[in-house]
Structure 1
């Protein structure tokens, strides 16, 4: 039976989905779930409620959010404070997503059990809710075999494990339908970049200067790169928000990090550090689109750097026994598959050295990596098209739920 788009939209608009997010790394977890919620609402017309335990961190990427409100709505999404116990009555909907293995409140689990029992007691009831665990993004090969697998919980309810990924056997990647077109239009007009910089309070940036955004964890390699840029023949601008990146640069800053304010400029030779204000997700996307190179961290900014079609360093979240380096290597192998061998070696070397805080090697590989290199630029533009693999995560997710 063929279902029209209008009918599908009508069906989705009657669905109620809940997403639970425990903020672990300030912006990464909430960044992913907020994009997911917005896309489900805007493109699939699903009623989404997002439960978040740390509204103060959330406010950094959603400035209009009031962290003192227990419940509120933004961008068509209901946002609830997740506390223990919940201050708002929970009514189970059609789909429940726990982001990154967060532990659901007992009353939520009980609602799932009740909904399942009601379904079996009365066959006229709609099907029981679908319970999903949204996992972290990984390029590792084992993800394909684990994506979509159910796990029977003690309550007798199946929980499905949904793995984002880069192949058609995974859950796909978060990407809004118009994102690539919007980015291309933005990058074609250089005035957009200048207007953005002006709105952020950035001055003194010429078209010929190199502009680098920095959103990393602490790393001595970042300090080494800044000292390297300082001695360069050409001018480099490092755009850095207040946060963990600046902890690595305290030794060269003229004041404490607490005294830094957005709009400040700190010049060292041919390097100028600009202190950025925090911005919402749309603003951050445009920042990535406007820079020549991006240093990013975690998961959300890592993926958005890829969609920006610019070269980047991924500062991956450190894990025990250096497991994060295995995840980094899996992605680098995939990303570099179509790069010329020498260029691939330089890009992989740069990323690995930065993550291992090998300061001298980081600078050496940076020198080898010519940002104006045409194959590097062409690869950065082609990669998003290849990586999205025809279908984005939200479209796959909705279809997965339908099939479940």
Structure 2
């Protein structure tokens, strides 16, 4: 079975131009297509490309906007332009002077009663190419270029724009309000430490979201003392049941479901953010939807599930700290890690110097352990001497201690 060619789409810049020409916001366009505003933002930035039915609906809407723009341009071209005022020949007659000065609004004609005019008005239209001042287009004054944002101002703008929504999304993953807030703050602190990299990223919000999700779903979170004390569940029974159903899903399936049905990302974006292939992400999404529909049959429709997830996240009072507080916290953590690294390096250098100082400068062979020698009679305790031993001792004592002066052989 072969697939037909995809519906052609204009370039991302042309898509944005058509939307702005129709005076539509990204949210309004997303509602007409049936997607999330973030998806429209990704389409206009060129990060993703619509597929399937969404592509056809988006292409049809853009075509309609282009036709409306063309029809408006044709109608404007057909509208007759106001004819320029007729040129009058300068004469010496005083009555023709006001007619030649009808377009001079900035310099009104003096009153002939208040000011005597001894001679006719001078010729005002001596140059045939000069046009009346009323028909000239106003020259717009050049606006001063906006001052570039500092890194701190850009970070604060990103935080205020995306932090509240990220806290609500992270709450759907963890079910813990304080852990969701802390995860988002840690993610933004990491983004502030790597701000040059994050500022050049095509999707800074996606970068922070992926970092927050990784921190929130980290396995070591269960070893924290705070994890042992459960937080109060939502007050609404329906919200409580939906949250418990989400928390029963495996972390990967839960994250895929929140990204696709909660945030509104496309399947390739969801797969890229979860570091999985597109078929694997689709399989996880289907399994998660089956689990949720098995426990809550009313949420089998993806649109209903999307609405319920948004309601669950919106019903909770989840606050976020101020941007300066987050930046200062990140800077304190960076200073602490820097000082800890310096202290560890100094300790390592001191240990190395002490080892070099006390280490031997030459080789000293080790002393071999002792071994028993066989064949040696055991040592006996001292006792009384026998007669032979006494005679031998006396003989040794009688002889000279220095030995004989001269040895000579003798016959016995």
Q: Name the structure where strand makes up a greater proportion of residues.
A: 1
Q: Name the structure where helix makes up a greater proportion of residues.
A: 2
- Provide TM-score, normalisation by structure 1: 0.24
